[in-house]
Chains A and B, each alone.
Chain A
Amino acid sequence: MGEFESEFMRALIEHLPVVVVILPLFGGLLALFTGMIQRGGGLVAWLWSLTITAAILACASLLLWQVQVGGHEVVYRLGSWPEQWGIVYVVDALNAYVIFTVALLGFLATLYAKTSVEAEIAHDRHHQFYSVWLLAIAGLLGISVTGDAFNVYVLLEISSLTVYTLIALGGERDRRALVASLKYLILGSIGATFILLGIGYMLMLTGTLNMADMHDQLVQMHARGELAHNRTVLVGFAFLMVGLCLKMALFPLHLWLPNAYTYAPSAVSVLIASTATKVGVYMTFRFVFTIWGGVYDTSEDMYFLALLACAGIVLSSVSAIQQFDAKRVLAYSSVGQLAYIVLGFSLVNEPGVIASVIHIFNHAVVKGGMFMALGAVCLRTGGTSVEHLQGLGRRMPLTMAAFTLGGFGLIGVPMTAGFVSKWFLVEGAMQEGLWAIAAVVLLGGLLALIYIWRLVEIIWLRPPLDPKLVIKEAPLTMLIPMWILIGTSIAFGIDATWTAESAQAAARVILEGAQP
């Protein structure tokens, strides 16, 4: 028995990079069959999803431990085909960190989803919902783990299509979710097709799809001087950047985000707000730094990205202040926080990239927690507008405390995770001598203070509109994941050693490609 177990463990560890994708893929397929056990899936579908996402979290943790403790990257060749001919999954310091973030948020969002989905999705559809849910997680994890450029496109489309479907399921409660999902579908498909075009130009140029091999080919061509005035390079890079900026929701390509986050079902908002756009940022890291790093002088493009990011921070925060629905406030806030991440890596120095990578985890955790709180509000009061939130502090104290602490994380109050990200970001800007960017970061924090304080004042300091209405606290399956996330943000705000070191390792991986 002992020998069998160690054989199994050894095989498992050998195949970890692909297990992380196969588990949710087949789990999603099998989730459909839970509809036969219980009509509409119900509790069985949720338990199955929870088991799968817990297993994925275990595998992702193992992978992270392997990369951090082992200190080397994990390479997995699908079907044992060598690099030039087959698809290779590579997990290095950057990857493992993103995979762990997505796996953690996937598990906690699934734990949270039980009561939320029961309230918001029709009861004869839960098995279908959880099936699409697990497929979305499969797509997101696949993007994070693959080392093949076309595989990225395929998994990107898997995750995008499933997310469009999940958002459209909010149409049962509010029909604007359907329009929001269709807008996202059209814009997202255009973005993904631009990415496909960019990959096509790079295939024409280098003759290979493997990311590491592409980088080697480009380095050799650069050494021979063939890249100097090559239009294919420029056009490929341009198409890729536009597609990636749309997926990252960088201003002005963020227009799909506010409606999509607001009208989606609460559990779906939790999942996509914390993971989908972060994975888009990870893709940008891979394409810009791993493949093009050191070969193509990207400084002008980075300057332009930084400009767009600054505009995004200011304009989205100003929009957030004017919204009447708390979910919309958080959606615009997400656009601003993503712009921080883009600003971080556009500085192309170590503190900037560390800020960017750390904020991927910090923002995922904070936004996940805050959307969970709003979902609990939606469950108990039927909506998330400011009328629903008024005076809720006394009646749902635990939920609203989590929301408030998350809000402080967004502002960047010391002792929260947001402060750590902003610290590195300002340090990065100062290192380049860009005082204007540091000023924009601090201005963004100030604007965040305004829109968070506006909500905090409505929640805690105003009397409720209908004092006789009895509103209970959120159920435990919602409170536990909510507080795990907010607690994580506080814990990593007080002692950021682990996140900072992981981000530093990831930043080194990113930047060693970027030095020409």
Chain B
Amino acid sequence: MLGLFNYWLAIIIILIGFYGVIAKRNLLKQAIALGLFQTGVFLFYVSMGVVQDNGVSGVVPIWTDAEKTGPFDNPLPHVLMLTAIVVSVSTLAVAVAIIVNIKRKYGTIEEDEILDIDRGER
């Protein structure tokens, strides 16, 4: 069970983020929760890169002065998540840009107030 600790944590973070997106009324909080949701996925991917070969733990595959032998941890998920982090940051940037414009046009960033304004216009 303790070996799966990372995965439990990843799922908990994903669910907290997902809850935030659904339950929060403030648009900025929803954007932050979305970022949290994606962070849980990063932890999930990175955890799968760990290598255990007959009880010998994997070594980080980075050049140092010391000689390195033995099983190396898989760097591929780390590389993939670098890209995914960039995607997450870009999404947050676009979301915040849209929220700034919403604040300019509506005067509020609370979702229920925006819905009321839109309905009131009809």
Q: Which residues of A contact B (CB under 8 A)?
A: 150, 153-154, 157, 161, 164-165, 168, 171, 175-176, 178-179, 181-182, 185-186, 189-190, 193, 196-197, 200, 203-204, 209
Distance, CA A161 to CA B105, complexed state (A): 22
Question: B41-49, B56-64, B65-73: which one contacts chain A?
Answer: B41-49
24 cross-chain CB contacts under 8 A: A150-B80, A150-B83, A154-B87, A164-B98, A168-B94, A171-B101, A171-B105, A175-B102, A175-B106, A178-B98, A179-B102, A182-B27, A182-B95, A185-B91, A185-B94, A186-B34, A186-B95, A190-B21, A196-B41, A196-B84, A197-B44, A200-B41, A203-B76, A203-B77
A189 with B91: in contact, given A182-B98, A197-B41, A203-B77 (CB under 8 Å)? yes
Q: A161-B94, A175-B102 are in contact. List 20 more A-B contacts (CB 8 A).
A: A150-B80, A150-B83, A157-B87, A157-B90, A161-B91, A165-B94, A168-B94, A171-B101, A178-B105, A179-B118, A182-B95, A185-B95, A185-B98, A186-B95, A189-B38, A190-B18, A190-B34, A197-B44, A200-B45, A200-B77
- Check if B16 is an interface residue, CB within 8 A of chain A: no
Contact residue among A171, A176, A181, A182 (Cβ-Cβ distance under 8 Å from B118): A176
**Which residues of B have CB within 8 Å of A157?**
87, 90-91
Q: Kindly report which residue of chain A lies nearest to residue B74, judged by CB atoms.
A: A207
Q: Across the A-B interface, how many residue pairs have beta carbons closer than 8 Å? A: 72
Distance, CA A189 to CA B41, complexed state (A): 12
Distance, CA A185 to CA B80, complexed state (A): 22
Q: Kindly report which residue of chain A lies nearest to residue B114, judged by CB atoms.
A: A179
**Which residues of A have CB within 8 Å of B87?**
154, 157, 161
User: Within the complex, what minimum Cβ distance (angstroms) separates B89 from chain A?
Assistant: 11
Cβ contact within 8 Å between B94 and A193: no
**Which residues of B have CB within 8 Å of A181?**
98
A182 with B41: in contact, given A150-B80, A165-B94 (CB under 8 Å)? no
Cβ contact within 8 Å between B101 and A178: yes
Cβ contact within 8 Å between B37 and A190: yes
Distance, CA A176 to CA B122, complexed state (A): 12
Distance, CA A418 to CA B83, complexed state (A): 40
Distance, CA A204 to CA B21, complexed state (A): 28
9 smallest beta-carbon distances between A and B, as pairs = A175-B105, A157-B87, A178-B102, A182-B98, A168-B98, A204-B48, A200-B45, A178-B101, A189-B91
Q: Kindly report which residue of chain B lies nearest to residue A184, judged by CB atoms.
A: B98
Cβ contact within 8 Å between B41 and A193: yes
Distance, CA A182 to CA B37, complexed state (A): 17
Distance, CA A200 to CA B83, complexed state (A): 14
Most buried by B among A154, A164, A175, A181: A175
User: Within the complex, what minimum Cβ distance (angstroms) separates A262 from chain B?
Assistant: 13
Distance, CA A175 to CA B101, complexed state (A): 9
Cβ contact within 8 Å between A164 and B102: no
Taken residue by residue from 95 to 107, chain B's Cβ proximity to chain A (1 for < 8 Å, 0 otherwise) reads as 1011101100110
User: Within the complex, what minimum Cβ distance (angstroms) separates A159 from chain B?
Assistant: 12
**Which residues of B have CB within 8 Å of A197?**
41, 44
Distance, CA A247 to CA B91, complexed state (A): 16
Contact residue among B38, B80, B95, B101 (Cβ-Cβ distance under 8 Å from A193): B38
Distance, CA A380 to CA B1, complexed state (A): 67
